[in-house]
């Protein structure tokens, strides 16, 4: 047997599953095919170059069919223009009346990321670039002062230095069009102090800070409403005219807020676009990425004058057969690179003829090529495993490829659990604190989880007033009573009082039988009126206060990312594009949310002892065992070294002997078996036991 065929038998299928999302979180494991959508990349590069010259804001609509690679394209654009613009990924907004705060939060969240090859975050690079530009306008002593701050970015916290810094920015940038100039420039100064950097970022993205934090930053108030958020975003625009363009990327728009008739609220997004234009904001490129069908089904609901401002339209078209072949080759290259001798074709074991037979028009979406590659690779792998005994795949002799039949549901479930593990780990790395997420976003994530678990009669906005987006209610299972939930992580005690007051009003109006308060943060001191109201409502009553843990946030945020991908037609498992309804079914059947302690405390799922990964002080190896079984299940068979390597990559604390013991357990349970137990470990295959 050729060495490449031995590698194919032992390997994972390289045409893996996908759930596209924020390009700051995605790692690109495969090289990019430069020819794919190169024309569109060049067009946008030209637009960014124009903005760099004239500083005039522009907006464009990027559209394409599902599977055309819009989200990947945005990531590619960010990678290629790493040093020429600052890239912002705006996740779908869930409340139209909260959109400016949503855009501001995600703008700062993106700016705190460091571009590839850089140590500093985009935010610090943006600030240093601004300093470089305005230094030329200053006197010699002021130039030295600004150079000191730019070069050191250390503890420069003297009040005199801070005021000089503010005065310099007022002089060089001006105060016309700058919202709340003293506070804003002062917080920019605080970014240069490592002790205040994180707090300054929290203020900039709109966290409702407590009095002590505001005093440390020497600012009067937080950015706690739409007008303030719009003002701060306008400030970024004003200053960016002295630096590089800021690219706002709006993606996965099928997940945004809905209108009463169920359609997406595209008008809210175009209102933002028009406000930016009418305000003559500088140096922005606004990219609206949308599925073609979604655009044509919704654009007539938007005011024509608002649409007319998005003057640039860029379609992502289907790719050619040659480009598709190159795409397949990138996935197969790591495998080919291990083989000696190398295969003569860069897409072996696939062939050009099968692509021509499958795509008679010689064009298809990138997803179509990858779906075909996944099935053909598996066909070939199974044929080689039988020592090339009949039946031989017809396509190997130039015949037509097999019809892409729906994969077995059990395989979809296995691939879902594998992809969940991968996405969950991304979320773990991203969210180190609960307050990195806004309370309205947290309540929306909770609502999506409740919907997946078939909780009935879910209604948002239980409490009234300014913080209505922090709440929801639902029907208690098997009963007539309604359950209310309020989630508030805002550290400001004035805000806490207002929310407690709104909770009291909701209870007095009999809007719910039981009210749950979800809050991990401080409740304030006993002498504060907010704390007294809290005690009155949640102590010695049937109402309950839950302190969520980070693990619960990981479950909710991971499921939320899957929802966004499913609604955007970007969730692909076993070659099948998964709908939201199918995602919800998968979530229930795989018991994926059962270990979320928050859902347990809300009595939505049964208590399981929590999801901390430990049992009696020892590692819970069941998730490891599940991963290994799913890997074998999705591949039919896999090389023992590959199985061990993939398992250790996901569970770094598990040692090799524990992995071998788990394989033995799976063998005893007659779920897997060794194909040749007497073979050398590096040649052994672990196979799925098929039911007869």
The number of beta carbons lying within 10 Å of the beta carbon of residue 216 is: 15
- Cβ count within 10 A of residue 110: 24
Map tokens 């020497």 to a residue: 218
pTM here is 0.92
**Multiple choice CATH, 618-688, 1.10.3720.10, 3.10.450.50, 3.30.2350.10, 1.10.10.10:** 1.10.10.10
* Whole-number percent of the chain with pLDDT over 70: 93
Q: Which of 105-114, 120-129, 452-461 has the lowest mean pLDDT?
A: 120-129
pLDDT at 614: 47
Residue 134 tokens, joined: 């305005």
Percent of the chain, pLDDT > 90? 71
Q: Which two tokens stand for residue 635?
A: 């591949």
Sign of CA dihedral 92, 96, 99, 101: negative
Both tokens of 327, joined, read: 């795409």
3-state secondary structure of 83: coil
Q: Assess whether the previous peptide bond of 341 is cis (omega < 30° from 0).
A: yes
Unique residue bearing structure tokens 């709340």: 180
Identify any residues that bridge with 287 across adjacent strands, giving them in sequence order.
Answer: 60, 249
pLDDT in tens, 469-505: 999 999 987 788 899 999 999 999 999 999 999 999 9
What DSSP character marks residue 388? S
Distance, CA of 601 to CA of 190 (rounded, Å): 40
The helix (run of H) or strand (run of E) holding residue 61 is strand 58-64
Smallest Cα–Cα separation from 455: which of 476, 485, 484?
476
Kind of pairing between the strands at 471-475 and 482-487:
antiparallel
Here the tokens at position 234 are 């306008």
Among 141, 134, 384, smallest CA distance to 238 is for: 134
Whether 643 has a pLDDT exceeding 90, the answer reads: yes
Averaged pLDDT for residues 44-64: 95
- Is pLDDT larger for residue 428 or for residue 405? 428
Which of the four pLDDT bands, split at 50, 70 and 90, describes residue 141? low
Separation of alpha carbons 562 and 580, rounded Å: 9
**In this model, does residue 619 exceed pLDDT 80?**
no
> What mean pLDDT value characterizes the chain?
90
Residue 26 confidence (pLDDT): 66
Split at pLDDT 50, 70, 90, the class of 692 is low
Q: What are the φ and ψ backbone dihedral angles of 273, each rounded to 5 degrees?
A: -60, -45
Q: For residue 680, is it left (φ>0), alpha (ψ between -120 and 50) or beta?
A: beta
Give dist(CA 149, CA 527) in Å, integer: 42
**Matching residue, tokens 């928050």:** 598
Do residues 48 and 84 lie in contact, with contact meaning Cβ atoms separated by under 8 Å? Answer: yes
615 band by pLDDT with thresholds 50, 70 and 90 = very low
Q: Give the contacts of 455 (CB within 8 A, at least 6 positions apart).
A: 474, 475, 477, 604
Angle, to 10 degrees, between the axis of helix 366-385 and the axis of helix 3-10? 110
Task: Give 85's strand partners.
Answer: none
What is the pairing mode between strands 58-64 and 312-316? parallel
CA angle 164, 168, 169 (to 5 degrees): 120
Structure tokens at 313: 């339209």
The 10s digit of each residue's pLDDT in 540-564 is: 999 999 999 999 999 999 999 999 9
Fold of 437-547: 3.40.1340
Q: Given pLDDT bands bounded at 50, 70 and 90, which one contains residue 635?
A: very high
Rounded-to-integer distance, Cα 611 and Cα 200, Å: 33
Pair 279, 241: CB distance under 8 Å = no
pLDDT grade for 329, boundaries at 50, 70 and 90: very high
Q: Tens of pLDDT along 175-232?
A: 788 899 999 999 998 988 888 999 999 999 999 999 999 999 999 999 989 999 999 9
For 423-466, how does the pLDDT look when each residue is reduced to its tens digit (9 = 90+)?
999 999 889 999 899 999 999 999 999 999 999 999 999 999 99
> At residue 617, does pLDDT exceed 50?
no
pLDDT in tens, 525-539: 999 999 999 999 999
What are 178's two structure tokens?
């700058």
Query: What pLDDT, on the 0 to 100 scale, is given for residue 137?
Result: 62
What's the pLDDT at 611? 46
Instruction: With beta carbons less than 8 A apart as the criterion, state whether 273 and 76 touch.
Output: no
**Model confidence at 609, in pLDDT bands (50, 70, 90)?**
low
Stretch 654-681: mean pLDDT, rounded? 91
Nearest to 411 by CA among 599, 576, 207: 576
Banded model confidence at residue 616, pLDDT cuts 50, 70, 90:
very low
Q: Tell me, what's the pLDDT at 159? A: 56
Q: What is the mean pLDDT of residues 6-31?
A: 78
Q: Is the pLDDT of residue 612 over 70?
A: no
Query: DSSP readout, 193-255?
Result: STTTHHHHHHHHTT----HHHHHHHT-S----SHHHHHHHHHHHHHHHTTS--EEEEE--GGG
Nearest residue to 251 via CA among 294, 302, 308: 294
β-pair type (319-320, 363-364):
antiparallel
Asked if 234 and 177 count as a contact pair (C-beta separation under 8 A), the reply is yes
**Domain ranges in the chain?**
3-10+332-397, 32-118+244-316, 136-238, 437-547, 618-688
Question: In degrees to the nearest 10, what's the CA dihedral of 379, 384, 386, 389?
Answer: 90
Residue 46: both structure tokens together = 């030209």
- Rg over alpha carbons for the chain, rounded to the nearest Å, is 28
User: How many CA atoms does the CB half-sphere of 83 hold within 13 Å?
Assistant: 3
DSSP state of 689: P
DSSP string, 516-573: EEE--S----TTSHHHHHHHHHHSSSS-EEE---HHHHHHHHHHHHHHHHHHTT-EEE
Tell the burial category of 160 from Cβ atoms under 10 Å away from its Cβ (0-12, 13-18, 19+): exposed
DSSP 8-class letter at 282:
B
Residue 630 has pLDDT above 70, yes or no: yes
Looking at residue 171, what is its pLDDT?
80
Name the token pair of 575: 């070659």
Report whether 462 contacts 506 (CB < 8 A): yes
Closest to 149 in 3D by CA, of 108, 194, 112: 194
* Fold of the 32-118+244-316 domain: Rossmann fold (3.40.50)
Token code pair at residue 544: 């309950």
Residue found by looking up tokens 């949640």 in the block:
538
Dihedral (CA of 275, 280, 281, 284) sign: positive
């Amino acid at each position: 047997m050729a060495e490449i065929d031995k590698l194919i038998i032992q390997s994972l299928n390289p045409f893996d599953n996908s759930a596209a999302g924020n390009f700051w979180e995605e790692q690109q494991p495969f090289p990019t095919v430069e020819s794919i959508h190169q024309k569109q990349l060049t067009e946008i590069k030209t637009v960014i170059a124009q903005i760099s010259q004239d500083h005039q804001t522009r907006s464009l609509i990027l559209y394409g069919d599902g599977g055309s690679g819009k989200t990947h394209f945005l990531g590619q654009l960010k990678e290629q223009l790493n040093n020429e613009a600052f890239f912002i990924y705006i996740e779908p907004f869930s409340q139209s009346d909260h959109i400016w705060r949503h855009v501001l939060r995600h703008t700062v969240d993106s700016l705190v990321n460091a571009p590839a090859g850089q140590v500093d975050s985009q935010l610090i690079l943006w600030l240093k670039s601004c300093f470089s530009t305005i230094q030329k306008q200053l006197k010699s002593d002021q130039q030295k002062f600004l150079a000191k701050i730019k070069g050191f970015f250390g503890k420069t916290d003297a009040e005199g230095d801070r005021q000089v810094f503010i005065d310099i920015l007022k002089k060089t940038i001006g105060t016309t069009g700058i919202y709340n100039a003293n506070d804003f420039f002062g917080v920019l100064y605080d970014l240069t102090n490592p002790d205040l950097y994180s707090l300054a970022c929290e203020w900039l993205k709109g966290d409702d800070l407590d009095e002590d934090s505001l005093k440390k930053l020497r600012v009067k108030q937080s950015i706690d409403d739409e007008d303030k958020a719009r003002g701060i975003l306008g400030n970024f625009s004003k200053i960016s005219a002295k630096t590089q363009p800021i690219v706002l990327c709006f993606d996965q728009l099928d997940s945004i807020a809905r209108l009463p008739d169920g359609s997406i609220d595209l008008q809210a997004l175009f209102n933002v676009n028009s406000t930016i234009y009418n305000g003559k904001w500088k140096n922005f490129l606004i990219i609206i990425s949308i599925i073609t069908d979604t655009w044509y089904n919704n654009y007539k609901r938007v005011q024509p004058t608002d649409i007319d401002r998005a003057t640039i339209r860029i379609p992502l078209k289907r790719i050619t057969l040659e480009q598709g072949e190159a795409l397949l080759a990138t996935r197969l290259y790591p495998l080919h690179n291990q083989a000696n001798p190398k295969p003569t074709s860069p897409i072996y074991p696939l062939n050009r003829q099968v692509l021509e037979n499958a795509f008679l028009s010689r064009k298809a979406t990138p997803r179509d090529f990858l779906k075909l590659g996944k099935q053909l690779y598996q066909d070939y792998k199974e044929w080689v495993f039988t020592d090339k005994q009949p039946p031989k795949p017809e396509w190997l002799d130039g015949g037509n490829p097999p019809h892409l039949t729906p994969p077995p549901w059990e395989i979809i479930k296995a691939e879902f659990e594998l992809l969940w593990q991968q996405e969950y780990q991304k979320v773990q790395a991203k969210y180190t604190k609960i307050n990195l997420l806004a309370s309205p976003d947290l309540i929306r994530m909770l609502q999506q989880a409740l919907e997946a678990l078939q909780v009935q009669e879910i209604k948002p906005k239980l409490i009234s007033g300014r913080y209505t987006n922090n709440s929801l209610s639902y029907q208690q299972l098997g009963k007539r009573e309604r359950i209310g939930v309020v989630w508030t992580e805002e550290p400001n005690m004035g805000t806490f009082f207002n929310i407690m007051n709104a909770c009291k009003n909701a209870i007095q109006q009999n809007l719910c039988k039981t009210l749950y308060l979800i809050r991990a943060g401080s409740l304030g001191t006993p002498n504060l009126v907010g704390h007294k109201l809290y005690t009155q409502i949640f102590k010695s009553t049937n109402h309950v206060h839950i302190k969520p843990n980070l693990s619960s946030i990981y479950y909710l945020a991971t499921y939320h990312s899957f929802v966004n991908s499913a609604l955007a037609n970007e969730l692909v498992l076993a070659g099948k594009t998964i709908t939201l309804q199918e995602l919800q079914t998968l979530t229930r059947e795989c018991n994926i949310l059962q270990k979320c302690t928050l859902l347990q405390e809300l009595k939505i799922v049964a208590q399981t002892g929590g999801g901390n990964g430990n049992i009696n002080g020892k590692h819970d190896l069941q998730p490891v065992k599940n991963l290994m079984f799913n890997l074998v299940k999705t591949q039919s068979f896999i090389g023992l070294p590959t199985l061990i390597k993939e398992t250790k990559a996901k569970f770094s604390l598990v040692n090799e002997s524990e992995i071998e013991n788990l394989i033995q357990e799976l063998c005893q349970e007659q779920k897997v078996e060794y194909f040749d137990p007497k073979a050398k470990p590096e040649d052994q295959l672990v196979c799925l036991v098929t039911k007869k």
